[in-house]
Structure formats: C-alpha cells, structure tokens
Amino acid sequence: MATSASIGRYLISTVQDHESPERDPGQVYKEVPASAWAPYRSFALNENGKYRSQWRGHLIRPAGGGGPYILVDTGMGPGPHQHTGRNGELLQSLAAEGVTPPRIDAVVITHCHGDHIGWNVTWAGDRPAATFPNATYYVAAKDWEHYSRPENSNEAFARSVRPLKDLGRLKLMEGEIDIADGIRTLPSNGHTPGHQCVLVRSGGEIGVLTGDLFHNLAQITEQTWCPVFDWNTAMSRASRQSVLGRAQKEGWVVFSGHLPAGLSIGRVVLKHGRPEWLHL
Ligand SMILES: [Zn+2]
C-alpha cells in the first residue's frame, strides 16, 4: 500500500489534494454496459457500485538530497470545493514531505484539465502569481493551442494556465522533452490533444507518471474502455494500449493519476493472459 516509490536515485511521492464526488461508472463509461463491470466490481467500485477519483500531484526528487524538485500536476486547487465544502490540500501534502513552494524547480502539467492545474496560480484579488515562484511550468503546446481557442476555452484554463505566459513562467513543449537528468515527457495524446506522461529512468529502473491515461482499475485489463472525459477515444485507446503495454513488457513502475490512495502505484502484470494491476 505504497504512497511513494524509488526509481533509481529518485524518490517519487504522491501529494494528495482532494477527491472527486462519487461517480456512477455508467455515467462516466457510457459505452460500457453495467454487466461488463461484474469482474471488476469487487475491487474497482465501492459497495454502492460507484467510485471516487483522487485528485493529486506527484513530487519527484533525488532521494539523496540536492535537486531537482519536480512537481507533476497540481490538483484541483485551493477551493473550497463545492461537493465537500473543503479546501484542496496539495500545499499541506507538500509540507508534510518537507517541501515549500519555492523549492519546486519545475512543474510538469500532464494535460490542461481543471483537476491537474488547480494550484498553478494563486490569485490575490485580480492579480495572479505563480504558486511555485521559482518553477518553470511545462505545458504541451497542443493543449495550449486547443484551450486557447475561444470555442474550447474554460474558466480553469483562463485562471490556472493562461496567466503563466504573462508571468514569464510558461514553457510550451512539443514531442519528448527532457525536464532533468533521466526525466522526460512521453506524449500520449487522446485524453486531451496534448496529454503526456512523464518517464523517469534511473539506475536501470523505469517509472511512468500516467496523468489521465486511465481513470479506473478496470481499465488496466479493459484498455479499450474510455471515459466521457477523453477528447478523442481512438487516440486515447491507442495511447493507453501503447504505454500500458510497454509498462507490462518492461516492468515499469506506474504512478497513476486518479486511483485510490495506497493502490495508486503499481505494475501491470499478465495473469491468465490478461493485464492486471499489482499495487506496490
Ligand atoms: Zn484528471
């Protein structure tokens, strides 16, 4: 039931922000009949037949001290959030790891949905400031272009990504980009136009931070299932099958974006010829 794991010289820790309202799988996976959930019900859904997504980021840092300190995704943000009336806890979760915002050197955004960008910017009245004042924020150019079009714009992007440009903190990326030694982006488009994973290679080990490549444990086995949140399901399916296939063949440690705490880090293993999740 791990909430952190080492990849070579790096320690990668989940930093919890908040959790989603309870979700009805029939509403989220509209093309999947209720009966198809039967094999997964006992572990992928709760006793009410529903599930919650965790909203979190991941902190990557060298286990032996020094730098760099990299935050991947920034959760849903300060709140208070409507469904709980409570605030997001990302900064407390970082503090519990002994990390204050100025310590972060880079923020990598897997994609520009509201539950991954919420703490990017802190607003004082109508004045935005970078929450992580010393960080470069890495955003995929394809997402920036998509959400900058008036027909795709939304409040979360306007408040949490767009100001980064004027603040001089934004770095737009195309393709695979090196963030730091052994840490590189892995484009995996489909959930959004610019969705990307983050690969960490160190000491002969490989870890992958998967953002919204999948949302529920059932999708490890049912890799063609797509939630309504996927922008292009043909692309998101292909990306999911490609990255999870490589993870299984090469023994990568997978750090998932939304799985329950304690189950969110694992490996994809073959059992009776089908891929399954084996949490650390
Ligand atoms: Zn998400």
Encode pLDDT of 132-162 as tens digits: 999 999 999 999 999 999 999 899 999 999 9
Distance from Cα 202 to the centre of ligand 1, integer Å: 27
257, HSE (Cβ side, Cα atoms, 13 Å):
25
Pairing of strands 106-108, 136-140: parallel
Beta bridge partners of 270: 275
Q: Which of 191, 42, 28 has its CA nearest to residue 109?
A: 191
Cβ distance 192 to 111 under 8 Å?
A: yes
Dihedral angle, C-alpha 194, 197, 200, 204, nearest 10 °: -120
Distance from Cα 257 to the centre of ligand 1, integer Å: 7
Supply the DSSP string of 174-222, one letter for each residue: -SS-EEETTEEEEE-TTSSTT-EEEEEEETTEEEEE-TTS-SSTHHHH-
Distance from Cα 35 to the centre of ligand 1, integer Å: 25
Across residues 156-179, what is the average pLDDT?
A: 97
The full set of domain ranges for the chain reads: 4-279
Distance from Cα 64 to the centre of ligand 1, integer Å: 31
Distance from Cα 112 to the centre of ligand 1, integer Å: 9
Mean pLDDT, the chain, integer: 97
Return d(Cα 96, Cα 237) in angstroms, integer.
36
In the predicted model, is pLDDT for residue 1 greater than 90? no
Give the max Cα distance, the chain. 57
**pLDDT score of 54:** 97
Supply the DSSP string of the chain, one letter for each residue: --SEEEETTEEEEEEEEEEPPPB-HHHHSTTS-GGGGGGGHHHHS-TTS-B--EEEEEEEEETTS-S--EEE---S-S---TTTSPPP-HHHHHHHTT--GGG--EEE-S--SHHHHTTSEEEETTEEEESSTTPEEEEEHHHHHHHHSGGG--HHHHHHTTHHHHTT-EEEE-SS-EEETTEEEEE-TTSSTT-EEEEEEETTEEEEE-TTS-SSTHHHH-TT---TT-S-HHHHHHHHHHHHHHHHHHT-EEE-SSSPTTTSEEEEEEETTEEEEEE-
Distance from Cα 228 to the centre of ligand 1, integer Å: 12
Residue identified by tokens 């799985």 is 259
For 276, other C-beta atoms within 10 Å of its C-beta total 16
Q: What is the pLDDT of residues 78-115, one digit of tens each?
A: 999 999 999 999 999 999 999 999 999 999 999 999 99
Q: What is the CATH number of domain 4-279?
A: 3.60.15.10
Q: What is the pLDDT of residues 190-207, one digit of tens each?
A: 999 999 999 999 999 999
Distance from Cα 117 to the centre of ligand 1, integer Å: 10
Distance from Cα 81 to the centre of ligand 1, integer Å: 15
Amino acid identity of residue 3, one-letter, is T
Amino acid identity of residue 116, one-letter, is H
Across residues 165-178, what is the average pLDDT?
A: 97
Return d(Cα 280, Cα 270) in angstroms, integer.
16
Please report which confidence band the pLDDT of residue 218 belongs to, taking 50, 70 and 90 as the band edges. very high
